[in-house]
Amino acid sequence: MEDKGLKKNAIGYISNVVIGVASTAPGYSLAATLGVIAAVGGIGLQSPAIMIVSFFPMLCIAAAYYYLNRADPDCGTTFTWVSKAMGPKSGWTAGWAIIAADVLVMPSLAFVAGQYSFQLFGWDAAAGNKWAILAVGIAWIIVMTWICWVGVELSARTQQILLSIEIFTLCLFAVVALYKVYFNDPAGSIRPEFSWFNPLEISSLSALTGGVLLGVFIYWGWDSGVAVNEESEDPASGPGKSAIVSTLILVGIYVLVTTAAQAFAGPKLLIDNPDDIFAPLGESVLGTGLDKLLIIAVLTSASASTQTTILPTARTSLSMARNKAMPAIFGRIHPRYLSPDVSTLAMGGVSALVFFFLIFKDENLVFDAFTALGLMICFYYGLTGFACTIYYRRHVFKSVKNFFFIGVLPMLGGLSLGYVFVKSVIDLRATDSGYAGPWLGVGAPFVIAAFVFLLGGVLLALSIPRYREYFSRKASVVDPAVLESAPATGGGD
Amino acid sequence: MAGLIVGYDGSDGAEAAFHAAADLSKRLGVGLTLVFGFEANPVGGEALDYWAALREHGESVLGTAIEEAKAAGVEVETLVVERGPAEALAELADEREADMIVVGSHGERPIAAAVLGSTPHKLLHLSHRPVLVVRI
């Protein structure tokens, strides 16, 4: 019954870049983070610098993805890789962090979707009402889960068009805003200065790590492009390269848009509107009519992001179930839709519950969950960095190139994200660390993150005796043939 | 290598196609191949496990069909192909110079079909070989 004769659908280099950028969802990422980053105490005017600094750990992790992907060009991701390189307990924990991160981002996605849907129709009263947003947000989660469940997928062409519109709109916004800053001098505007891009101007280390914690989020998602490798034209190296190219495109957009938004309105406006930053800005920059384009770009971006959140979560739990590290039911495939239905529906259901709970308790918790999400991302991206060096440890000292791309970069990525993680955990305990008030005597983001890790710890403890076969696996090293047969290109080209 | 190629995913439409094709193959005295084609978006990661799950599903669906065919006294060959159903059928039919492709008039993804076009519809555009669409 094996299929050997038919050629696979080839995904080109450009498509990989498109998938990487679309999955990162620049429009939504900016809408969700611009205000929250500007609000981190001590960042001041240096938001653009944060966009640049956050890019470095991600570039390092890109090298790790590139090499892990080369060793295992079968669309594995962090769960599979970390299990192999660092053993089943680390692998399980990484899988848990991915699932938790994906669940924690859903309230923010639903919130942005609700908020911007109302903005699109100019219904400002509803856009400011949390129950109205809750209703639309829940509907959004249901629709998106349903789309993933029945397996409707956008074609590569549609995705390219949507992404082009998104990028075009963001650039248009930035260029017009900067033009007006220089030639019309609107009230509240400030001209960009070199110091905005200089991370050394950031007043404290806490401000820097707090910013980077949010900054890593905006680059989160390009790993989807890396995961698309089995069907790529050059499975062993194409996707890794496209991940790097897509990251470079993203840095450009993020720095440009952040600079433009801040120059046009000043940081105060960004801080005061963490949930709908493009709504007040869009109209004054682009004028009525065109500002809707910006809102549509954010909405399409959020929908792409929601799908690329639900899919990988369902895939990770499917993979964990098939590796017998989770209840087998999560590995079930719907006989008609061919989707991992239990995993997909569970993801949607849990997300909707979390969203409901956060809004019900205090809508500001949505932003705090978002901050806690940064911790999860740092955690599992960091683990991926370490996993790469550990998996390839016998090859690190074999050449200068290996040393740099397998040893230095992934370790540097892992260590820097580890540092951001630890420093943020300490800082987030402060009672004023979140948008919502303190919870149980500490900052709300800390409570959310601690709850997720505790729950993970309990589930891990329960799983170890249950899934003996998986947890008795041993960590391994890479097959030496992988590097010998690899093309002579490095991770950075 | 001529014969009939049947798109088979275990749905009612596939079942109808299978029965019509089994009848035809007896009368024409040609071979019968059941094909389960699937396509999984690699976006989302962990695709290897997902593909393995889909392949297993396809094999189990085809396994049931083999039993049915045996009971009816028909010889069948089965194939799981990692390719969109329409493409899988069209390409295999070309490769084997099949007499005909047989599919059900509608499969089991009505919503996907409405949005993206159904497999038989797509097949009519793709296939160089005759296509028989069997109504349920």
pLDDT of residue A224: 61
pLDDT of residue B71: 87
What's the rounded Cα separation, in Å, for the pair B21 and B31? Answer: 10
CB contact, 8 Å: A336 with chain B? yes
For residue B31, give the nearest of B63, B84, B78 by alpha carbon.
B78
Helices A238-272 and A205-219, packing angle to 10 deg:
120
CB contact, 8 Å: A83 with chain B? no
- Give the Å distances, CA to CA, from B49 to A142, A274, A290: 26, 39, 44
**pLDDT at residue A137 is higher than 70:** yes
In which residue are the tokens 């001209």 written?
A: A191
pLDDT tens digits for range B54-91 = 999 999 999 999 998 888 888 899 999 988 888 999 99
Of B39, B43, B83, the CB nearest to A224: B43
Chain A residues in contact with B93 by the CB 8 A cut-off are none
In which residue are the tokens 């024409």 written?
A: B28
Q: How far is B132 from chain A (nearest CA, A)?
A: 22
Chain B residues in contact with A74 by the CB 8 A cut-off are 47-48
* Mean pLDDT computed over A75-88: 85
Size of interface A-B (CB pairs under 8 A): 123
What's the rounded Cα separation, in Å, for the pair A24 and A460? Answer: 29
Identity of residue A335: P
Assign A187 a pLDDT band (cuts: 50, 70, 90): confident
Task: Name the closest residue on chain B to residue A7, using Cα atoms.
Answer: B83
Asked whether the beta carbons of residue B42 and residue A227 sit closer than 8 angstroms, the reply is yes
Of B48, B50, B79, the CB nearest to A1: B79
CB contact, 8 Å: A230 with chain B? yes
The size of chain B, in residues, is: 136
Assign A67 a pLDDT band (cuts: 50, 70, 90): confident
DSSP structural state of residue B6: E
What's the rounded Cα separation, in Å, for the pair B28 and A339? Answer: 38
Of A223, A312, A338, the CB nearest to B54: A338
What's the rounded Cα separation, in Å, for the pair A138 and A414? Answer: 35
Assign A493 a pLDDT band (cuts: 50, 70, 90): very low
CB contact, 8 Å: A150 with chain B? yes
What's the rounded Cα separation, in Å, for the pair A215 and A221? Answer: 13
**pLDDT at residue A228 is higher than 70:** no
Strand partners, B4: B32, B100
Chain A residues in contact with B98 by the CB 8 A cut-off are none
Asked whether the beta carbons of residue A153 and residue B41 sit closer than 8 angstroms, the reply is yes
Asked whether the beta carbons of residue A75 and residue B46 sit closer than 8 angstroms, the reply is yes
Identity of residue A301: S
Backbone angles phi, psi at B11, to 5 degrees: -80, 170
B27 CB burial (10 A radius; 0-12, 13-18, 19+):
exposed
For residue A342, give the nearest of B40, A376, A350 by alpha carbon.
A350
One-letter-per-residue 3-state SS of A67-133:
HHHHHCCCCCCHHHHHHHHHCHHHHHHHHHHHHHHHHHHHHHHHHHHHHHHHHHCCCHHHHCCHHHH
pLDDT of residue B101: 94
What's the rounded Cα separation, in Å, for the pair A70 and A239? Answer: 9
Give pLDDT tens digits along chain B (136 positions): 579 999 998 888 888 999 999 999 989 889 999 999 988 766 666 777 888 899 999 999 999 999 988 888 888 999 999 888 889 999 999 999 999 999 988 755 555 555 555 788 888 888 999 999 988 7
* Reported pTM: 0.86
Chain A residues in contact with B109 by the CB 8 A cut-off are 150-151, 336-337
Asked whether the beta carbons of residue A312 and residue B116 sit closer than 8 angstroms, the reply is no
Assign A491 a pLDDT band (cuts: 50, 70, 90): very low
Can you say how many angstroms the Cα of residue B115 is from the centroid of all Cα atoms in its chain? Answer: 21
Asked whether the beta carbons of residue A224 and residue B54 sit closer than 8 angstroms, the reply is no
Task: Compute the Cα dihedral for A177, A179, A185, A190 and give only its sign.
Answer: positive
The size of chain A, in residues, is: 493
Of A150, A323, A338, the CB nearest to B38: A338
Task: Name the closest residue on chain B to residue A320, using Cα atoms.
Answer: B49
Chain A residues in contact with B60 by the CB 8 A cut-off are none
